[in-house]
Amino acid sequence: MEGLEILKKKIKEAPVTSGVYLFKNKKDQPIYIGKAINIKRRLGNYGQMKNLPRRLQQMVFQTNAIEFELTETERNALLLEALLIKKFAPRYNIRLKDDKSFPLIKISADNYPRISKFRNEYNKNDLVFGPFTSAFKTDKVLKILQKIFQLRSCTNQEFKNRSRPCLLYDIKQCSAPCVGKVSFDDYKHQVQNTIDFFKGNQSDITKDLEKEMLTASKLQKYERASEIRDSIQSLNFIIREEIKVGSQDSNYDFILVNKDKYLSIFISFIRYGRYLGGKMVYISKDDEDEKNIPSLLIQYYIKGFRPKSIICSGKINNFKDLKVIFKEKLEISLIVKNKKIHGVNNIEKISKKNLDKEVKKYDQYYDTNSEILNLTQQFFKLKNPIERIEGYDNSFYSNNYAVASYIAFNNEGFSIKDSRTYKFKDFDLKKFGDADLMKKVFQSRFEDSNKIIPDIILIDGGKPYLKICYEILKKFHLDDKIFLISISKGHNRDYRFDRYNTLYESNISLRNQPKIEGFLQKIRDKAHKLSKQNSLKRMSDSIKSSFLDDIKGIGKVKKLKIINYFGSTKILKQTSKEELLQIEGVNKVLAQTIMDKINNE
């Protein structure tokens, strides 16, 4: 006996009190968990199969057992349901789109505090800052802070067993308190500066650093002055990235529940009056899923670091019970947005804007490669089915290391083996330009008549690029076989305002065609990534080996500066001593040494 028969039997046995019910499969695994004020009445709803969504119909058919967990109140049922869903992750329950914890930064409670990144586990006495929505950005901030404030990052075990400073001390990213290279009071000052930074007192820190830099300069300690200058620049980089949304004592998460197009939840993080980022954690096409929001929020905050307060954009189901659960079980104050909260309207606008971007990405999702190729064919009114699309992009660094790549897409998806990269060693971008590089690429790509011909070519560039590429295709009699599309970047490089051009129509907006727009942007982005990677590799290879390697006084940075100035070692070998002296960091002695090396080769 299973499925509907078990359900009918259990409806008769079910209690009329509040609690949680668990549908289980043959392996005794929960496949669905729900709560109810009256379990008997709720189970009766599942017996009306025609009224159930397909997902729950399948769940009923796979049911082998139903169990009950009774609770004294509906509030306890809500909490228990959330805990069980979090524990078992049943297949047919509505779950968070992304319940991964975000990285945070902590300063430990040790005598010589340690700064480090973490996600879940921490000591209650530690000072915690974050969360940050990007692990990459967290690492970058951490690295900058270590350069500026030089706090240790080693474990306590490493700290105790040190007899001499580690490499981080040598590269000035740690003050080496482990071996007494810094006094207790000075280290304490470094720690306080780091805390002040996180609490939004960056301007005071910057002023102190500027004073210290001027003092070092007056005392002719120029190396120290340049180190402080670099620290100030790094600090300003972080400050520019921040968005201030409230007073300095504003610390909360903002939950935006939106029902415009889909039911969606976006959580924003505000710490010390600054917006640290946010994430869409849930999206559904079914408005009936709104009843699951309280359970979803409990699941989200039950594990890991929790804010002291949460502000909701509006009231949600079971708000009173949810408020008590958050206060008693999670030690979080839950309130509804009101005008008295400084900056809350601003953070709601930011959250809405970022949520709209996430919803747009959701709209751009397509089920199969054939589906998106057919949609693209229909929109651009092409006669024949699309079998292959190629996306082109150029890349270079400081007008050097010119590289062009194309990425191929077919019915099987993106094909790396069919993608290509072209490297042009002697191409002078100062003399010619990006558009001429694209012309050269098309010449190389289509001069061989035996090569595979794409149905569409996508070019990262405006109308002029389109005309240049068309002339090359015409030269090889391919102008009627390949459909050209170029992308003009939107205002402030905002992808939402990108415009598309063909030979027949300009400034086409695809905002009403999110799947096609997202698809073409993905091709463009992958082509850009491929060309950038190869250009960077060319630059890296040129640094690794050149005739400058054996010259005393030339390290990696200076070598890169010299090679970038001339564009290539080939042009460098044709230079003069006077031209070398134009480069910052090259004195008369070094210039003469380089010239001697060139003349002796």
For the stretch 306-362, pLDDT in tens is: 899 999 999 898 999 999 999 999 999 999 998 788 889 999 999 999 999 888 888
| Each residue's pLDDT tens digit, 227-272 | 788 777 777 766 666 677 777 678 899 999 999 889 999 999 998 8
Q: What is the pLDDT of residue 266?
A: 95
Long-range Cβ contacts of 474-481 (<8 Å, 24+ apart): 476/446, 476/447, 476/449, 478/446, 478/453, 481/453
Which of 38, 41, 2, 37 lies closest to 23 in space, CA to CA?
2
User: With a cut of 70, which residues of the chain have pLDDT below it?
Assistant: 1, 97-100, 237-242, 248, 396-401, 425-434, 449, 493, 538-547, 549-550, 556, 566-570, 601
Q: What is the pLDDT of residue 427?
A: 56
Collapse the DSSP code of 186 into the 3-class scheme (helix H, G, I; strand E, B; otherwise coil) and give the result. Answer: helix
DSSP string, 390-449: EEEEEEEETTEEEEEEEEEEETTEEEEEEEEEEE-TT--TTTS-HHHHHHHHHHHHHSST
Length of the chain: 601
Q: What is the pLDDT of residue 486?
A: 92
Domains contained in the chain, CATH given = 4-88 (3.40.1440.10), 104-243 (no CATH), 252-356 (3.30.420), 369-540 (3.30.420.340), 545-600 (1.10.150.20)
The reported pTM is 0.65
- Give Cα separations from 317 to 257, 291, 564 (angstroms): 11, 6, 61
Q: Quick one: which H or E segment has residue 277?
A: strand 274-284
| Each residue's pLDDT tens digit, 361-373 | 888 777 788 899 9
Cβ-contact 283, 359 below 8 angstroms = yes
User: If you average pLDDT over every residue of the chain, what do you get?
Assistant: 86
**Dihedral sign (CA 489, 495, 501, 507):** negative
CA distance 174 to 151: 5
Long-range Cβ contacts of 556-565 (<8 Å, 24+ apart): 558/585, 558/586, 561/585, 562/586, 562/594, 563/400, 564/397, 564/398, 564/400
Q: What is the pLDDT of residue 241?
A: 63
Tokens of 601: 């080769």
DSSP string, 319-377: HHHHHHHHHHHS--EEEE--TTSTTHHHHHHHHHHHHHHHHHHHHT--S-HHHHHHHHH
Q: What is the pLDDT of residue 429?
A: 54
CA distance 286 to 22: 22
CA distance 597 to 449: 46
